[in-house]
Structure 1
């Protein structure tokens, strides 16, 4: 099997079916190894990951750092690079990237500006992984989302998936939409307030790959028919108009009653953090997969780090 072909992980469009299978197979192996012989506990011994986060993060940052440590690597990190790195002194992203190239073997970057990871990758001699760039993309979240869906349904073909909430600014649903085009007979339903509708570029991309989609404003009407409801938070920090946020906030709440109207085998996902869109009472519902989804971030990010930093090995670990 060919070696991992990517120099950087910047956007979901980089992944085709073969590459997705490679990442998922590697994640399966590393997941099993954590509770088994620990053959890969020193796989990245001597490697350093620079965790460069210009926006707050809990799951993404800690899962990446945990992934690196569990593979035997080490981490250098800053909690909020906009305030606690030289960016606060006016240092450019390009200069910060060049500096990190001298300190680390891989850069994991979250930034408030869309396209920032791509700009960093253009000048970086070491791998750059996009951990979220503003309202742009979040490819590793999309990978763990697909991994979660594949595990729940033993495959991803023939599924109807509803994306609910902030679709305009939600980088997770944008990235997931790109990946869903890789699978047959998938249908997407966008459920959002008018001020948060999915942008036209995603709709055009779905049309290009013949993925059926339509828009709804009534959550109740689609609850019984979908295989997966992917809830998202209304992101106050992304709104430029406070009135738009007021209109959208609290619009869609997946109550226990609504969750119980879903198919028995259907699943509920959320990239987290949540506010009020999924009450805590739903956590014990057998359809709830969002904590498992977050845990899957560890395995997917372990796989990506392993594949990016062990290119000579070729193929998934066995």
Structure 2
């Protein structure tokens, strides 16, 4: 059966098909209102969420299905020390498909190995967020018609921004895409995401915005910082306001995965270039299309993962945010990237 853990699990043709289905659902919702009748979505949210969790629930209800799950791990057996693997193994017996969010990077990998139903990664720490990327791609497609030859500026927390990582991986597969990476040194994009992309780096929003077709703003994520003082120093480093927006092209679009905490002034919300609330609406429809796709043929084989990874006696991932730091008896696995760097197969951190 197919799962969605990383946006690269779906090729560009499959993504185009999902967008086409989502757009049809927007126009003709009545055609799909019973498509998942008697089907159940399990929502396992080990980390707080508003848009992602509610849009998944709304998506399944819009398809005529039902939802069960939890929105706070403290209300589940996780609070008693139960592992991700055991939780998923149990819940997959109660539902037809699972959407899971977890604060640890790489958590979906042990989950899918123990699940009897398809697993959708709804965000794993600062790693990946493929369904947000699908919503982002749908939004871009609606405004730009094509993903090729775009200049995409990404601003803010590029280090821990899982939405940024997934969007770059998705867009890098299209011809002529260039990235402008706008961040302070402390929040620069990780090397494993930079591999193979065309990019420039700057710490100036004013400089980075001028040639962009898409500006993707992000918040500095307090929950990813262990040092509160460092967060306070960096949290307001970039603010998009009316004056800065005057520097942008007339047809540039402004995106944000939300929530925002000050990095986009409310004064620009009425600018027709601002699409972040449209993104949230696209999120519901693209998740409806994804659920339909994954439930359409349970016998379809999944994509290969970790096929080139290996175990090595004595080597352990040193990332405290990796799922290997807490999951019971999870084998530490590694792979060698194109530059010869050995990385954790769960969180992609260089070892």
TM-score normalised by the chain length of structure 1? 0.92
Q: Tell me the equivalent position of 2:15.
A: 20
User: Are 1:70 and 2:62 counterparts?
Assistant: yes
Q: Tell me the equivalent position of 1:54.
A: 46
Which residue of 286, 295, 302 corresponds with 2:272? 286
Q: Deviations over 1:164-185 (max 9, x none)?
A: 0000011000010100112110
Q: Tell me the equivalent position of 1:175.
A: 166
CA contact (8 A) 1:189 1:213 kept: yes
Large movers: runs of 4+ above 3 Å: none
Q: RCO higher in 1 or 2 (8 Å CA, sep ≥ 6)? A: 1
- Please state whether the residue corresponding to 1:237 is helix, strand or coil: helix
CA contact (8 A) 1:112 1:133 kept: yes
For residues 313 and 261 of structure 1, do their structure 2 counterparts lie closer, same or farther at Cα, with a shift above 3 Å needed? farther
Q: Tell me the equivalent position of 1:3.
A: none
Which residue of 154, 158, 162 corresponds with 2:153? 162
* Matches of 2:299 and 2:23, distance apart in 1: 17
Per-residue deviation at 1:313? Answer: 12
CA contact (8 A) 1:49 1:68 kept: yes
* Matches of 1:306 and 1:30, distance apart in 2: 11
Q: Deviations over 1:235-259 (max 9, x none)?
A: 0110122333233211110011111
Which residue of 273, 287, 290 corresponds with 2:259? 273
TM-score normalised by the chain length of structure 2? 0.83
User: Are 1:245 and 2:231 counterparts?
Assistant: yes
Structure 1 gap ranges (5+)? 1-5
* Matches of 2:253 and 2:117, distance apart in 1: 38
* Matches of 2:109 and 2:242, distance apart in 1: 41
Q: Tell me the equivalent position of 2:36.
A: 44
Q: Deviations over 1:63-84 (max 9, x none)?
A: 0000000000000021212x11
Per-residue deviation at 1:27? Answer: 0.9
* Matches of 1:304 and 1:100, distance apart in 2: 20
Aligned pairs (5 A) from 1:73-92? 73-81=65-73, 83-92=74-83
CA contact (8 A) 1:15 1:179 kept: no
Aligned pairs (5 A) from 1:123-142? 123-142=114-133
* Matches of 1:212 and 1:112, distance apart in 2: 30
How many residue pairs were aligned? 300
Q: Deviations over 1:109-155 (max 9, x none)?
A: 00010111121001212000000011110000011111111111111
Q: Tell me the equivalent position of 2:176.
A: 185
Alpha carbon RMSD of aligned pairs, Å?
1.4
Per-residue deviation at 1:101? Answer: 1.6
* Matches of 1:74 and 1:312, distance apart in 2: 19
Structure 2 gap ranges (5+)? 301-351
- Please state whether the residue corresponding to 2:28 is helix, strand or coil: helix
CA contact (8 A) 1:195 1:244 kept: no
Per-residue deviation at 1:106? Answer: 0.5
Q: Deviations over 1:274-310 (max 9, x none)?
A: 0010011110011100000111000110000011112
- Please state whether the residue corresponding to 2:269 is helix, strand or coil: helix
Task: Select between 191-200 and 9-18 the one with higher mean Cα deviation.
Answer: 9-18
